[in-house]
């Protein structure tokens, strides 16, 4: 069982780390102090097509890392999927309470056990405008999680992920502001996201179809995309529209 003082010390060290290597060492130490064997700090994207600000620090059994990457499990992994449904940490043994498990999910978890992973604890990291990520800590097969310290593990996971984000973005220029849409464009995009055609949007807003078409063309230009689906997704991703704009009423 670790103490809050150890967690705070870790947060300070992790913050000060300027290289992935330094952070890796700090996370390795706290992982061992918490009684875990393995950890993975990752954005949930396909790492075979990497981007510049993607977080990835992993100390998992080699067999499992290979199987994971070859199987391209980033989106399909049941643990990652479950982490998209909650903001608080969860034990892997409880994953079935968060998502509906299909046969492939069971196969993935069985393969992880075969590779030597036991139960684990995953802390989701959801930042608006960024790919989902998570920080996981795992035991060896047959070892048990120490329930009482899980809130502290949750803190460690969040701070570790934030430290990794900071390092990942330090090499690049500050995040440029997202494209700005006018109020009318935003309304049109929100309606596109709700599946409306230009004609329907024109009726809803009480304007001409050409006007709607023009608003959406201008909005696509601002995002530099050519398809309305992509426009809606980009606007949703960076917060120009929200799920409540789409799903309410």
Partner 1 sequence: MVVVRYGIEQALSDRVFRSMFEERKRVFVDLLGWDIPVLAGRYEIDQFDDDEATYIVVTDGTGEHCGSARLLRTDRPHILDTIFPYLCDDIPPAGPRVREITRFCLARRLKARERLATRNRLVSALVEHALCNGITTYTGVAEWAWFQQILAFGWQCLPLGMPSSADRGLSAMRIDISPATPGLLRQSGIFAPIHLMDLDRTAA
> Interface residues with partner 1 (CB under 8 A)?
4-5, 7-8, 11-12, 15, 87-88, 125-128, 151-152, 154-155, 158-159, 162, 165-166, 169-170, 174-178, 180-181, 186, 239-242, 244-245
Q: Taking each helix axis from N to C terminus, what angle separates 4-16 and 150-170, rounded to the nearest 10 degrees?
A: 10
Identify the three-state secondary structure at position 40. Answer: strand
Which of 64, 123, 116 has the alpha carbon at shortest distance from 92? Answer: 123
Q: Which is nearer to partner 1, 15 or 196 (CB)?
A: 15
**Measured from the CB of residue 83, what is the shortest distance to partner 1 in angstroms?**
12
221 torsion bin: left (phi>0), alpha (psi -120 to 50), beta (else): alpha
Report the largest interatomic distance among the alpha carbons of the chain, rounded to a whole angstrom: 66
Q: How far apart are CA 227 and CA 110, in angstroms?
A: 40
Residue with smaller CB distance to partner 1, 104 or 126 = 126
Write phi, then psi, for 57 (nearest 5 degrees): -130, 120
Query: Strands 133-140, 38-43: parallel, antiparallel or unpaired by DSSP?
Result: antiparallel
Shortest separation between residue 228's beta carbon and partner 1, angstroms: 19
Nearer to partner 1, 15 or 217 (CB): 15
Q: For the CB of residue 196, give the shortest distance to partner 1 in the complex, in Å.
A: 18
Given the complex with partner 1, which of 111 and 166 has the nearer CB atom? Answer: 166
Cα end-to-end distance, the chain, whole Å: 48
Q: Which is nearer to partner 1, 105 or 245 (CB)?
A: 245
**Min CB(88)–partner 1 separation in Å:** 5
Residue 135 Cβ vs partner 1, minimum distance, rounded to whole Å = 11
| 76/88 with CB nearer partner 1 | 88
Task: Yes or no: say if 109 and 138 are a contact pair by the CB < 8 Å rule.
Answer: no
Measured torsion, CA atoms of residues 23, 160, 233, 69, in degrees rounded to the nearest 10: 60
| Rounded least distance, CB 31 to partner 1, Å | 18
């Amino acid at each position: 069982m670790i103490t809050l003082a150890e967690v705070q010390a870790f947060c300070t060290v992790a913050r000060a780390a300027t290289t992935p290597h330094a952070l890796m060492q700090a996370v390795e130490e706290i992982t061992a102090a918490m009684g875990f064997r393995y950890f993975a700090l990752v954005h949930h994207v396909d790492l075979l097509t990497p981007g510049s600000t993607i977080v990835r620090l992993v100390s998992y059994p080699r067999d499992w890392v290979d199987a994971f990457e070859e199987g391209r499990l980033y989106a399909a992994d049941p643990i990652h999927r479950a982490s998209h449904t909650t903001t608080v940490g969860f034990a892997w043994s409880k994953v079935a309470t968060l998502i509906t498990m299909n046969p492939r999910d069971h196969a993935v978890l069985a393969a992880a056990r075969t590779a030597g992973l036991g139960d684990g604890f995953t802390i989701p990291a959801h930042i608006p405008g960024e790919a989902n990520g998570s920080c996981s800590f795992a035991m060896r097969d047959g070892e048990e999680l120490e329930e009482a310290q899980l809130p502290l593990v949750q803190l460690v996971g969040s701070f570790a992920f934030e430290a990794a984000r900071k390092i990942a973005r330090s090499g690049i220029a500050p995040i440029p502001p997202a494209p700005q849409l006018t109020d009318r464009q935003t309304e049109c995009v929100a309606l596109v996201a709700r599946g409306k055609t230009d004609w329907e949007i024109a009726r809803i807003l009480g304007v001409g179809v050409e006007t709607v078409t023009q608003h959406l063309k201008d909005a696509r230009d601002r995002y530099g995309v050519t398809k309305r689906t992509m426009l809606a997704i980009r606007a949703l991703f960076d917060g120009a529209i929200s799920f409540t704009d789409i799903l309410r009423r």
